[in-house]
Structure 1
Amino acid sequence: MKNKKHGDGGAVGLCDKDPGLCRGDDNPSLPREARLPINRCNLPAVVLGSLTYQRHPSPLLLDGVAELHRDLFRRLGEAGDDAAVRGEVFRDYLTVHFQLEWPEEMGFTGNNKSRARANYARMIRGWSFDADSREGAVLKGWVESRFGLLPRWHGQPLRDTHDDAWLHYMEMRSQGLYGTSALEAQFDLVYTYCQHELARRHSGAGHVTLYRGVNRVADHEILDSREGGRHTILLNNLNSFTCSRDRACEFGDYILTVDMPLTKIFFHCGLLPGVLQGEDEFLAIGGVVDVTLSTI
């Protein structure tokens, strides 16, 4: 929480619940400039980034991950009910599959081995210190690629893909990916593993209540405001929240409360011990959401 700024069948089901959801560019929920027309999961950005999706979430499946990594999920199933064992299975699988401890085996021949050893854990830790860092740019870029949700903030507002702010974000993203072992493919597995674990721990649940300390709601993109501190806002494409209201109070004079679909949780504190330390932090994929603003 430090330095934080800001199959088609599933889509048909959501459109049946809200016929206005699939009107393309006329969709009032997710602005056109906040999304891409294509992505790499089973729902288009205009759907998964909408209010209707927040209220009625359905699984988000990244293209090809389950099929390409059947062996990992077979091993996780065989690991049984011990979350710590499943975590070790996951870590070992990624270490071997991406040759994380042997960069030369992946064809690395350069001198800067620190870049070759950049991995999912280091990227997530880097985010926890500064979401506007190079690591933050890589993670936001992954969300953009996989879910089609464009970042709205990286050190400064991102509104035009031709302006200097956007070019700086892209430069940081490229620098963060250069010389690494398929970092975005590592994130694919982190997200899928997180969803696997959430499904085990929260069977039947669709949402988790999360909090964010802010000094003013105007720091966010407000799409609508109503009585009782209720607002509809457009989140950045990746965001830090906490599951502890008391902890959120440490980061601002006001508290944003949101019912976040579990399917939008990329990572959370405790999923893999040692990756995120403290703050009960959750990394949540963005889009349009209803929130409640309250005082501490």
Structure 2
Amino acid sequence: MDEPLSQTWHSSGHSTNLVGRPSAFMASPAFNDAPVGLHIWGVREMNPALFTMLDQAETLPEAGEAFLAYMVAMFGIDPEQREAAPGSRKRYRSSFLRLIQGWTFDSNGPEGAVLKGWVESRFGILPSFHKEIIPDIHGPIWQAYVEERMQSRFHDNAILVQLDMLFEFCQWAIGRFAFPGQSHITLYRGINAVDRHGILDQPSKREAVIRLNNLVSFSSDREVADCFGDRIITTRVPLAKVLFFPGLLPSHLLRGEREFLVLGGAFRVSIDDV
């Protein structure tokens, strides 16, 4: 899970996004301390049948099945992709399932670039790492990221719209079934040398404000996070920033490592040795 970040990385982000909140605010510790709901413009309004169907579900697995059925019908996704592994020779239409599966194998692969690009375009939060530190948006590292993000094989089936719908379903499921009434969840992330990360403030040896990538993995299981570094960061993640959590869908996606996909930015963390 460890990705070193530049301490000099810019935090301006884009001036516009699709959620109506300032991008710099969403990437700040202030948002994480007092989060507000995030909704991508037009998704629920354009898919009333989906959310009417979801409201009839009595359990999260039932809602997950309904969401998958809707996505298969809407985007012509082959149901086999539920368990298809990245690297398979069979050609599929682009799907959010394929991207999530790819992320689990390598967050710095092309699937990871598309996911980071989605965060960039919808929330205005720029990535700070893809294969290596991205020091600015004018150099060759940024250009390489953009080229991978725009690969045509991932953009033939309204893939960004699929991710919009996944985010809205995830937020619906959080409020309805998974974490009703909660604003935060405590999560863990394994890291190596702390000084390789974008430390914005460090009031003590065990406390810091660290800038993480614009999309980042956490685990709800501390013992799992222990396997990914020699130190553990613990933080309270606002549920408004969660894109995917284990058990959201009736598949094996992200379950093994109890992995949450979270919109990134600056987080207040505690730091402990493994």
TM (norm. structure 1) is 0.83
Given that residues 214 and 256 in structure 1 are in contact (C-alpha distance below 8 angstroms), is that contact kept between their aligned partners in structure 2? yes
Note if 1:169 corresponds to 2:145: yes
- Going from structure 1 to structure 2, the CA distance change for 1:179 and 1:63 (only over 3 Å counts) comes to closer
Note if 1:83 corresponds to 2:60: yes
Given that residues 43 and 164 in structure 2 are in contact (C-alpha distance below 8 angstroms), is that contact kept between their aligned partners in structure 1? yes
Measure the CA separation in 2 of the matches of 1:176 and 1:196.
30
Measure the CA separation in 2 of the matches of 1:56 and 1:64.
25
Given that residues 37 and 44 in structure 1 are in contact (C-alpha distance below 8 angstroms), is that contact kept between their aligned partners in structure 2? yes
What does residue 26 of structure 1 align with? none
1:233 to 200, 206, 210: 210
What does residue 3 of structure 2 align with? 5
What does residue 259 of structure 2 align with? 281
Alignment of 1:126-165 (within 5 A): 126-165=102-141
Query: What letter matches 2:46 in structure 1?
Result: L
Unpaired segments ≥5 residues, structure 1: 7-30, 103-111
Given that residues 135 and 176 in structure 1 are in contact (C-alpha distance below 8 angstroms), is that contact kept between their aligned partners in structure 2? no
| Secondary structure, counterpart of 1:276 in structure 2 | coil
| 1:126 Cα deviation from its structure 2 partner | 0.3
What is the root-mean-square deviation of aligned Cα atoms in Å? Answer: 1.8
Given that residues 98 and 181 in structure 1 are in contact (C-alpha distance below 8 angstroms), is that contact kept between their aligned partners in structure 2? yes
What does residue 157 of structure 2 align with? 181
Unpaired segments ≥5 residues, structure 2: 80-88
Measure the CA separation in 2 of the matches of 1:182 and 1:77.
25
Query: What letter matches 1:55 in structure 2?
Result: D
Measure the CA separation in 1 of the matches of 2:186 and 2:152.
32
| Secondary structure, counterpart of 2:263 in structure 1 | strand
| Secondary structure, counterpart of 1:226 in structure 2 | strand
Larger RCO of the pair (alpha carbons < 8 Å, separation 6+):
2
Alignment of 1:95-110 (within 5 A): 95-101=72-78
Given that residues 187 and 236 in structure 2 are in contact (C-alpha distance below 8 angstroms), is that contact kept between their aligned partners in structure 1? yes
| 1:287 Cα deviation from its structure 2 partner | 1.2
Alignment of 1:8-157 (within 5 A): 33-79=11-57, 81-101=58-78, 114=91, 116-157=92-133
Measure the CA separation in 2 of the matches of 1:220 and 1:75.
44
Query: What letter matches 1:76 in structure 2?
Result: L
1:208 to 164, 180, 185: 185
Given that residues 34 and 152 in structure 1 are in contact (C-alpha distance below 8 angstroms), is that contact kept between their aligned partners in structure 2? no
Measure the CA separation in 2 of the matches of 1:177 and 1:152.
24
Query: What letter matches 1:77 in structure 2?
Result: D
What does residue 219 of structure 2 align with? 242
Given that residues 5 and 131 in structure 1 are in contact (C-alpha distance below 8 angstroms), is that contact kept between their aligned partners in structure 2? no
| 1:294 Cα deviation from its structure 2 partner | 0.6
| 1:271 Cα deviation from its structure 2 partner | 1.0
More helix by share: 1
| Percent pairwise identity | 38
| 1:276 Cα deviation from its structure 2 partner | 2.4
2:248 to 271, 279, 290: 271
What does residue 106 of structure 1 align with? none
Query: What letter matches 1:153 in structure 2?
Result: F
Query: What letter matches 1:72 in structure 2?
Result: L
Measure the CA separation in 2 of the matches of 1:34 and 1:286.
14
The aligned length equals 259
Measure the CA separation in 1 of the matches of 2:29 and 2:131.
26
Query: What letter matches 1:282 in structure 2?
Result: F
Measure the CA separation in 1 of the matches of 2:273 and 2:169.
35
| 1:89 Cα deviation from its structure 2 partner | 0.5
